[in-house]
Amino acid sequence: MAEIALPPLGGRVRRMFEFRTVLFAVVLLVTLFLVLYPVLLIVFYSFSVAETGADFVFGLDAWKRALSEPAMFGTIVNTIKLLVAINVISFPVAVIVSWVLARTDIPWRNGLEFMFWISFFLPSLSVTLGWIMCLDPEYGLLNKLVMLLPFVEEAPFNIYSFWGIVWAHIGANSIAVKVMLLTPTFRNIDSSLEEASRVAGAGRLGTLARIVVPAMMPALIAILLMAMIRAMQSFEIEMVLGPPFQFYVYSTKVYALIAQEPPEFGPASALATLGLAAILPLIFAQRWLAMRRQYTTLTGKLQTQPVRLGPWRTPVFLGVLTVVLVLTILPLVFVGLASTMNLFGFFNIPDPYTLDHWVALLNDETFLQAVGNTLAMAGGAGIFSVVLFSLVAYFTVRTTFRARALLDFVSWLPFAVPGILFGVGLLFVFLESPLFRPLYGTMWLLILATVISSMTLGTQIIKSNMMQLGHELEEASRVTGATWWRTFTRVVLPILMPVLLLVGVMNFISAARDIASVALVATAETKTLALLQLDYMVEGRYETAAVTSFIVIILSTGIALLARALGLRVGIRN
């Protein structure tokens, strides 16, 4: 009788110490530390009544204040009011624009789509600056223009108002984000659904209203929820436009509580926790909808016959063109104008135009330091994020470790948690513990903050590409004798190189223009350009802010354009 081979002794033990297992543990711990730990600390410190820096003392004072003071709880109501107002306007516009771009024979479609893409990459603070130039009650150009009319006595527009903030959001990227998400969704719909309705006797608009929109409702709602989650995280527009009329949303309130002297960490954490609680239902609803199969999109052969607009072709084209010009060119022109004027809006002084602001800023120590900081932070974030995200993606997609579900969950968390809250959490991590305190005040902290904020999108992109990669490519490498690490670095990563490059570039861009995640962790020495621009705007130095803004636009939109020209598909969807 043949000998029966026994399973090798200690097979399980050996696996425990395999390099891959050790690496998985390290990646999991790093991610938990970066993402989960700060959030838990926020919740933890909301129950402390101790002075800053002192030991934890349990108490509910912070919560009592957060729930009773109108100045606190009201900020969450403000956030929700803004959210609703912004999306009630921008969502229908985005739905119509995306449908037109995806499903009709509108002329110059690629050009229009490209301009929405530009709008998506324009930093919201720069767009807001453009609109301040236009709608400021004192010297906004549009106000001045309207006041030339004989019967207009007062400035009709005021950007420092609730509707001013709403408008700034719409003008920044509230529409562009949705157009970028919706257009591919509309493009994937089986055109025979529309054609069947036409043949059955419905016109173009009837078909849009009765078939296309209702059939896509689940997908539309999922995208709307995603947009609302994003909007909950907005910070810089409210930070510039809100305080002049005593208007705070919860992110600016949290920031104010911490930035003041002395900082009030307790109420800030309680408010932050409340905000998180308000986002959670949105997250669950969004995940639930996204998980469900979208039945409107069929796999396999799709016919995509564009709908003929007929006589509506030109009017519709002009309409969409107007929208996209208002979103892109208009604010840029005003920012450009502002950067070259002695005093913005004053055309009738002897010497209205000057390059002084450019010259002064380019010789300013603070500014030059900020340029260096921004490049170091964005570059560091770009590199570090690719390393971390590709490992996270690999472990969640390609391995069977039981804890990979936890890793997956943690990689989703930054999508839900506003950047300003991560800032609070990171402050707790790095200020309260003697081990990490030396890192406070260095660029490392900013790099970590921006890596966290781009984690969800970056990991998702790498994951979806890894899933398309057949197992055989890896298995072939292992069978020929390569170790796991060699296979990962010599086969998996090189194949995914274009994707990794894309993620790196996108994280560079989002770090370069990021404000919410770094506002609280930056110090005077580690200020970035975007933060400097925010300071200038809050101080009312709009001309200097405009110059700074240009550099930020080059580092974000400019890099995106360059990457696109080099063939990278920079965007929010693959």
Residues engaged in binding other proteins (CB under 8 A): 190, 192-193, 195-203, 206, 210-211, 214-215, 217, 295-296, 298, 305, 308
Which CB atom, from 1 or from 199, has the smaller least distance to other proteins? Answer: 199
DSSP-assigned letter for residue 55: P
Q: What is the DSSP string of 323-391?
A: HHHHHTHHHHHHHHHHHTBSSTT--SSS--B-SHHHHHHHT-HHHHHHHHHHHHHHHHHHHHHHHHHHH
190 or 432: whose CB is closer to other proteins?
190
Which of 504, 422, 458 lies closest to 235, judged by CA?
A: 422
Closer residue to other proteins, CB minimum distance, 80 or 202 = 202
CB of 212 to other proteins, least distance (A): 10
10 Å Cβ neighbour count for 312? 15
Buried b / exposed e along 363-396 (16+ C-beta atoms within 10 A): eeeebebbbebbebbbbbbbebbbebbbbbbbbb
Q: What H or E segment, with its residue span, contains residue 6?
A: none
Which residues does 162 contact at the CB level (< 8 Å), separation at least 6? 81, 82, 85, 247
CA distance 268 to 294: 40
Min dist CB 194 to other proteins, Å, is 8
**CB neighbours of 413 closer than 8 A, spacing ≥ 6?**
35, 36, 39, 456
> Whole-number minimum distance, CB 201 to other proteins, in Å?
4
- Look up residue 215 and give its amino acid: A
Q: Which is nearer to other proteins, 88 or 217 (CB)?
A: 217
Decide whether 198 or 398 has the Cβ nearer to other proteins: 198
Q: How far is CA 114 from CA 50, 69, 230, in A?
A: 53, 46, 22
> Residue 506 and residue 6: Cα distance in Å, rounded?
52
Q: Is the dihedral of CA 332, 100, 176, 505 positive or negative?
A: negative
Nearest to 237 by CA among 337, 378, 122: 122
Smaller CB separation from other proteins, 2 or 205: 205
Q: Which is nearer to other proteins, 219 or 327 (CB)?
A: 219
CB of 326 to other proteins, least distance (A): 33
Q: How near is the Cβ of 320 to other proteins at its closest, in Å?
A: 23
Residue whose CB is less far from other proteins, 305 or 489? 305
CA angle 533–534–540, rounded 5-degree value: 90
Q: Cβ 223 to other proteins, closest distance in Å?
A: 16
3-state secondary structure 441-470: CCHHHHHHHHHHHCHHHHHHHHHHHHHHCC
CB of 285 to other proteins, least distance (A): 19
As a whole number of angstroms, the distance between CA 537 and CA 533 comes to: 6
Amino acid at 550: F
Distance of closest approach, residue 110 Cβ to other proteins, in angstroms: 17
Least Cβ distance, residue 456 to other proteins (angstroms): 29
Q: How far is the CB of 186 from other proteins (least distance, A)?
A: 15
Comparing CB distances to other proteins, the nearer of 203 and 315 is 203
User: Using CA atoms, how far apart are residues 175 and 431, in angstroms rounded to an integer?
Assistant: 38
Question: What's the angle, vertex CA 272, arms to CA 270 and CA 276, rounded to 5?
Answer: 115
Instruction: Give whichever of 200 and 291 is closer to other proteins, judged by the CB atom.
Output: 200
**Shortest spacing between CB 183 and other proteins, in angstroms:** 20
Which residue, 298 or 325, is less far from other proteins as judged by CB? Answer: 298
Note the Cα 122 to chain centre separation in Å.
12
